[in-house]
Structure 1
Amino acid sequence: MTSSSGNPGGTTAITTAPPSHQTAPEAEAKTPRRLMASIAPATFSISLIWGAVPSILLALQVQQAFGEDAKVAVLALVSTFGAFAAMIAQPVAGALSDRTRSRFGKRAPWIVLGSLCGGLALIGLAFASNLVFLILAWVMVQISFNFAQAPLSAIMPDRVPRAVRGTFAAILGLGSMFGSLGGQILASSFSKNIPAAYLLLGGFAIIILTLFVVLNPDRSSTDTVVETFVVRSFAHTFWVSPVKHPDFFWAFTSRLLTYTGYFVVVGYKLYILQDYIGLGKDAIALIPVVGLVSLGGLLFSTLAAGKLSDHLGRRKPFVFVSGLVVATALFIPSVLPSVTGMLIMAGLAGFGFGCFQAVDAALISEVLPSDRSFAKDLGVVNMAVTLPQILAPAFAGLIVLTFGYALLFPVGAAISILGAISVIPVQSVK
């Protein structure tokens, strides 16, 4: 991906003011405790939606509206539209955030506005009565909450010193994974009242993200000088250039593949439990159990990995090993197609993915192409997080329709192995 700090097309770039962590070195000594404490709930509130809606609530809504025979194809179609919306929304939101001038700072207006629009979109999704409205509502949910998530992701490179980014990334990872797993548990609890779940998710996100902005005010950006926006330059950001930014390319690729492998299986677990394991309607009751088992593995690895990574000053070994652990876990149900196999997979995958999330965000923050466009670059990077979670049901649906459920597990494992290998070429981070 090329950086907007370049000068394509002969346009003269205007020098931006350096980020706050560069203009005030004395502020690097310690990340504000309030920021450390409140970033997890903020991340949790958005991840709760990604955990609850695509793989469970939306899957149930599709199943109820279109029947058993059409559910896989319809969910794949709806998910595909949502995935493309998410792919565009994150970098666009990041670029707008990087260039925003307001007395509330660059990030806050978009975080609040995105959550408000996302909450309204969830209400629309709750009452979508046909395929067209279902797609439109889900696309609006994707756009809105990605407009909140991209600026939120820029908080770490904006305001957190490198020495504690592993710890901060671990807190982010905990918020994200607790949200994802909590969303699955919440969704299963509201399986018979889907509209209420959508209302609860939207209202919670609005409250938590607004509180985050109020508790962590950013400095005014009204006097910030920003670069001239060049459409061609921005379009180039969708391409990760292995020549210009090789470390960024490989870190992005590692994240994309690891998340894809994980969510091809985990993001489709409702239908796996129903059809592959054979639980039928009883699958809903097992979702919270699977989530809690995964959470056990997640907690252990996330709490340890972030601090240990900071202490050792190393990121790559953690990312590499965690990718292999995830791959091993995802393969288990193919040889043990039972509830036991799913529970073993959940615990081991939670352990590996928790370690990955705890360290990968810190690694990414250290290979960004430009210090002038954190939110835009992270918006592009976050495509590697958002797309697998949203597109996984579509990709998994294609595999199931063509080859059956059994192939999901080796495919997910193989993709995760490639994700682990992809971090090896990163040179600027140990």
Structure 2
Amino acid sequence: MTTASAPDPTTDLRPEDPEEAVAFFEDAAGNDDPPAPIKGVRRLLAWIIPANLGIFLIWGAVPGILLPAQISAQFGEADKVANLTLVATIGAFCSMLAQPIAGQISDRTRSRFGRRAPWIIIGALAGGLSLVGLAFADSLVGVVIAWSLVQITYNVAQGPLSAIMPDRVPLKRRGTFAALSGIGLMVGALGGQIVGSLFFNSIAAGYVTFAAFSLIVLTLFVVFNPDYSSKELEREPFSFGDFLRTFWVNPVKHPDFFWAFTGRLLLYTGYFAVTGFQLYLLTDYFGVEKPETVIPMLGMISLAGILLATVVSGPLSDRVGRRKPFVFISSVVTGLALVFPWIWPDLTAWMVFTFVSGLGFGMFQAVDTALMSEVLPSAKSFAKDLGVVNIAATLPQTLAPGVAGAIVLAFGYAALFPVGILLSVLGAFAVWPIKAVK
């Protein structure tokens, strides 16, 4: 099949000829390598970092800092673990459902702005309003509802945003793109902790600030990276069976996808089972009296490890043409980093953990995203399949608060560490059965 010619990407990536747009999507569906113009890719490379920052600053600041602080302040210290477990579990469950549904809807969207852009903007706007609602929630039920809406709406934006790489980035550039995407993701998550700690005593102002920043950045991403029109694409009839399959990829037909999904699921579960309780670990396990003064330093330490690993591993993976060894090593390193605070229950050990796990998690984010993009079952349903992929990130956040909360209540905080180590190492070995990627 002949690749469709594209317009000058410095002006408008959307072709005027409807047949050209159809040819673009048909070519993408028939090849693993989309016919993206190189200048357009460069512009995407420049914008994917701030786009991911817009969303992941929220994921770093709210569930890790502001939400636990809000729950402790409003509902008391005695039941804070149980209350946080309830709020986080319900919210993450909503997130798990929202992203693949949003992905399938965007796959089927027909508009002059393409399939992804409308939902990125809608999700950012609705998410900002949900954050404002969370700022003024004054009951536990209100917090549960508002946080669930935040999870749903921002995943409406994140699902289509995650489909940008397989939609428009050539295979040979995906390691670099994934590395830059990973920088935005991890800098956002850790930067969110740092910035969130500045709003530790003014939580409502923090929510409003993050809402405004996200809306501005994601809007600019869409404006400066216009997509091909999807108006002329054939509309596929709706099937309820297809809707239910939004949450499913057949592991027998697509074993590589299954193993990549499983590896990510295990690592994320092990990691978030521990880090999801960082604020309470600092106060109740390490004895830190003012955690808001320590969290920025921890974020910078982790950020140093992540940036170092991400900048090196993504392009290096492209150069050597291998993904699995990087993913294996990163999972093992992330898991073994948990040994330090387990055997040495001190703030210094937690600082060592944040740097070492930053190295491992940075490498994982840079390379595993590229690996996942190469084992997707169908080019016609990138966003839907990536929504299923992202269940591997959101499901651990669904399971981890409940499981980790039960572990803490039954055995104490120290019991979290061996569980995290075991799951992370098992996640490392899950990548070796993958055959389509070296």
Q: Same fold (TM over 0.5)?
A: yes
The answer as to 2:27 corresponding to 1:37 is no
The answer as to 2:207 corresponding to 1:198 is yes
Trace 1:116-131 onto structure 2 (pairs within 5 A).
116-131=125-140
Deviation at 1:31, TM superposition (A): 5.0
Deviation at 1:228, TM superposition (A): 2.4
Q: Is the 8 A contact 2:131 2:146 kept in 1?
A: yes
The answer as to 2:315 corresponding to 1:307 is yes
Deviation at 1:80, TM superposition (A): 1.2
Deviation at 1:189, TM superposition (A): 1.0
Q: Work out which of the residue numbers 269, 276, 291 in structure 2 matches 1:260.
A: 269
Instruction: State how far apart, in whole Å, the 1-side matches of 2:203 and 2:398 are.
Output: 19
Deviation at 1:28, TM superposition (A): 5.3
Could you tell me which residue of structure 1 aligns to residue 437 of structure 2? Answer: 429
Deviation at 1:268, TM superposition (A): 1.3
What are the superposed Cα offsets for residues 237-270 of structure 1, whole Å, 9 maximum, x if unpaired?
Answer: 4234321110000111111111111111122111
What are the superposed Cα offsets for residues 380-407 of structure 1, whole Å, 9 maximum, x if unpaired?
Answer: 1111123334653333212101211011
Instruction: State how far apart, in whole Å, the 2-side matches of 1:302 and 1:25 are.
Output: 24
Number of residues of Structure 1 aligned to a counterpart in Structure 2: 415
Indicate the larger mover: 348-357 or 389-398: 389-398
Trace 1:81-160 onto structure 2 (pairs within 5 A).
81-160=90-169
Deviation at 1:157, TM superposition (A): 0.3
Q: Is the 8 A contact 2:104 2:246 kept in 1?
A: no
Could you tell me which residue of structure 2 aligns to residue 332 of structure 1? Answer: 340
Letter of the structure 1 residue corresponding to residue 299 of structure 2: G
Q: Work out which of the residue numbers 361, 366, 373 in structure 1 matches 2:374.
A: 366
Q: Work out which of the residue numbers 317, 332, 337 in structure 1 matches 2:325.
A: 317
Percent of pairs with identical residues: 58
Deviation at 1:19, TM superposition (A): 5.6
Trace 1:17-28 onto structure 2 (pairs within 5 A).
17-18=25-26, 20=28, 27=36
Could you tell me which residue of structure 2 aligns to residue 12 of structure 1? Answer: none
Trace 1:276-287 onto structure 2 (pairs within 5 A).
276-279=285-288, 281-287=289-295
Q: Secondary structure at the match of 1:382?
A: helix
Instruction: State how far apart, in whole Å, the 1-side matches of 2:34 and 2:184 are.
Output: 28
Letter of the structure 2 residue corresponding to residue 134 of structure 1: V
Letter of the structure 2 residue corresponding to residue 419 of structure 1: G
Could you tell me which residue of structure 2 aligns to residue 6 of structure 1? Answer: none
What are the superposed Cα offsets for residues 185-230 of structure 1, whole Å, 9 maximum, x if unpaired?
Answer: 1111110000000000100000000000000001111111143222
Q: Is the 8 A contact 1:21 1:27 kept in 2?
A: no
Q: Is the 8 A contact 1:47 1:179 kept in 2?
A: yes
The answer as to 2:249 corresponding to 1:235 is no
What are the superposed Cα offsets for residues 331-357 of structure 1, whole Å, 9 maximum, x if unpaired?
Answer: 210101001100000000000000000
Q: Is the 8 A contact 1:16 1:225 kept in 2?
A: no
Q: Secondary structure at the match of 2:247?
A: coil
Instruction: State how far apart, in whole Å, the 2-side matches of 1:293 and 1:27 are.
Output: 37
Could you tell me which residue of structure 2 aligns to residue 8 of structure 1? Answer: none
Q: Secondary structure at the match of 1:158?
A: helix
Q: Is the 8 A contact 1:91 1:376 kept in 2?
A: yes
Q: Is the 8 A contact 2:159 2:387 kept in 1?
A: yes
Q: Unpaired runs of 5+ in structure 1? A: 1-14
Deviation at 1:44, TM superposition (A): 1.0
Deviation at 1:231, TM superposition (A): 1.5
Go from structure 1 to structure 2 and tell me whether the alpha carbon gap of 1:49 and 1:90 turns closer, same or farther (over 3 Å shift): same
Please report the TM-score for the alignment, with normalisation by the length of structure 2. 0.92
Q: Unpaired runs of 5+ in structure 2? A: 1-22
The answer as to 2:341 corresponding to 1:348 is no
Q: Is the 8 A contact 2:306 2:359 kept in 1?
A: yes
Q: Secondary structure at the match of 2:338?
A: helix
Deviation at 1:145, TM superposition (A): 0.2
The answer as to 2:186 corresponding to 1:177 is yes
Q: Work out which of the residue numbers 402, 412, 417 in structure 2 matches 1:409.
A: 417
Q: Is the 8 A contact 1:169 1:362 kept in 2?
A: yes
Q: Is the 8 A contact 2:249 2:385 kept in 1?
A: no
Letter of the structure 1 residue corresponding to residue 375 of structure 2: V
Trace 1:50-89 onto structure 2 (pairs within 5 A).
50-89=59-98
Deviation at 1:154, TM superposition (A): 0.3
Instruction: State how far apart, in whole Å, the 2-side matches of 1:367 and 1:212 are.
Output: 27
What are the superposed Cα offsets for residues 119-169 of structure 1, whole Å, 9 maximum, x if unpaired?
Answer: 000000001000111111011101100000000000000000000100000
CA-based RMSD = 1.8
Could you tell me which residue of structure 2 aligns to residue 387 of structure 1? Answer: 395
Instruction: State how far apart, in whole Å, the 2-side matches of 1:373 and 1:339 are.
Output: 45
Instruction: State how far apart, in whole Å, the 2-side matches of 1:21 and 1:233 are.
Output: 18
Indicate the larger mover: 327-336 or 343-352: 327-336
Instruction: State how far apart, in whole Å, the 2-side matches of 1:110 and 1:69 are.
Output: 41
Indicate the larger mover: 316-325 or 376-385: 376-385
Q: Is the 8 A contact 2:128 2:212 kept in 1?
A: yes
What are the superposed Cα offsets for residues 28-74 of structure 1, whole Å, 9 maximum, x if unpaired?
Answer: 55652211100111011101111111121110111111111110001
Q: Secondary structure at the match of 2:379?
A: coil
Could you tell me which residue of structure 2 aligns to residue 294 of structure 1? Answer: 302
Q: Is the 8 A contact 1:99 1:226 kept in 2?
A: yes
Q: Secondary structure at the match of 2:287?
A: coil
Q: Is the 8 A contact 1:97 1:110 kept in 2?
A: yes
